[in-house]
Amino acid sequence: MSLHVHRIRSPAFQLHHALKKHYSVAAATKGTTKASELFSDEQRRQRENVGRIEKIEVRYLGLPHDTTLVMNRELSTPYDCARHIGEKYCQQSALALLDNKTPWDMRRPLRDSCTLQLLNFTSPEPHIANKAFWRSCSFLLGAVLQASFKPEAGLFLHSFPKPNVKSGSFVHDIVLAEEHWNPTVSELRALSIEMVKLAQKNLPIERLDVSSELALEMFHDNPYKREQIPSVAGQNNGQVTVYRVGEHVDISKGPMMGSSGLLGRCTISVAHPVKEGSESGKHFYRMQGVALPAVLRIGHFAYNILENRSRKLNPAKLPNEPFEDTVAEQVA
């Protein structure tokens, strides 16, 4: 299985910018589009069900100065609050912190009056934002992989484990029909380029809590997600949290950063085969990469060290392990 970049021909693995004139991608995007449509319909339904608009007080703590904002319960988000404070806070904030304890997605509606802090990647204590960044990278990698493989590759996105920044890599576990897929340097570089392109689009990353029934409908064509959904819902009061970027939808506990534009330098570094649990026509691979937030810059030598470290097999729970026993580790 190879990647079609410039003059490289690809039987089962494609990048849209190279193959639009040669192949139809409708079959590859049909399931993704359906999930996105269901996401939009449910998002609209939940907004319409808010009913009478109630006001809440949001006490913002931070630069340029503390202030109190009057917002709409179940409609206004930290991103909306940031717009009142200043445009740069919309662009730079990765995550919100409510009442000095609860990480909150930038585009997730606020439920009650609270204090609000906006977190970014240059904060003195960036560990909360860093975890959200690592998780978001795994999610964005799933979007790139979903868009890059042709249907005959037999791609299924399995899951991505909770982030561990100390591991040196973000992860997305996938299933392919091919048993001995070993991507070339050019193919991995092409995936890295697609990650950067996704960042340049600066797409919002949206969160939605849905019923397990709707989640099953969203992922009707992915048997691995359907197997996971009952366990996920069982630990979340019957709800499943899903995220969307562009047309891509996936399951995650969150929180995630507010937009793809916060992703900076990125390398998809390796694909490790996972032999245990694989079967004929369904083979597990652990995709790994490393990235930096857009606001951070380091030298070429230092970044090479990070790249090399990211190629080591990430020790997070493997996709072949019993899901019910490790759902907290397997679904970030």
For the chain, what is the mean pLDDT?
89
- State yes or no: pLDDT of 136 exceeds 70: yes
Cα–chain center distance at 103: 16
- Average pLDDT of the segment spanning 6-15: 45
- Average pLDDT of the segment spanning 271-300: 91
Lowest mean pLDDT among 64-68, 112-116, 242-246, 275-279: 275-279
The reported pLDDT for the residue numbered 19 is 35
- State yes or no: pLDDT of 134 exceeds 60: yes
- State yes or no: pLDDT of 277 exceeds 90: no
Question: pLDDT over 90 for what percent of the chain?
Answer: 78
**CATH fold of the domain at 127-311:** Threonyl-tRNA Synthetase; Chain A, domain 2 (3.30.980)
What is the CATH number that goes with domain 54-120?
3.10.20.30
The model carries a pTM of: 0.89
- State yes or no: pLDDT of 251 exceeds 80: yes
Cα dihedral 237→59→243→195 (10° resolution) = -150
Instruction: Tell me phi and psi for residue 23, to 5 degrees.
Output: -135, 150
Q: What is the pLDDT of residues 161-192, one digit of tens each?
A: 999 888 999 999 999 999 889 999 999 999 99
pLDDT band (50, 70, 90) for residue 32: confident
- State yes or no: pLDDT of 21 exceeds 90: no
- Average pLDDT of the segment spanning 190-200: 97
- Average pLDDT of the segment spanning 36-52: 95
The reported pLDDT for the residue numbered 9 is 41
Secondary element (H or E) of residue 59: strand 55-60
Lowest mean pLDDT among 56-60, 77-81, 323-327: 323-327
pLDDT band (50, 70, 90) for residue 24: very low
- Are 312 and 164 a contacting pair, CB within 8 Å? no
Locate the DSSP E strands across 87-155.
95-98, 102-104, 114-119
CA-based nearest residue to 283, from 137, 141, 158:
158
- State yes or no: pLDDT of 208 exceeds 50: yes
Domain range annotation of the chain: 54-120, 127-311
- Are 175 and 151 a contacting pair, CB within 8 Å? no
Of residues 288 and 13, more confidently modeled:
288
- Average pLDDT of the segment spanning 272-277: 86
- State yes or no: pLDDT of 37 exceeds 80: yes
pLDDT band (50, 70, 90) for residue 129: very high
Return the ∠ at Cα 85 (arms to 79 and 88), rounded to 5°.
75
- Average pLDDT of the segment spanning 238-253: 97
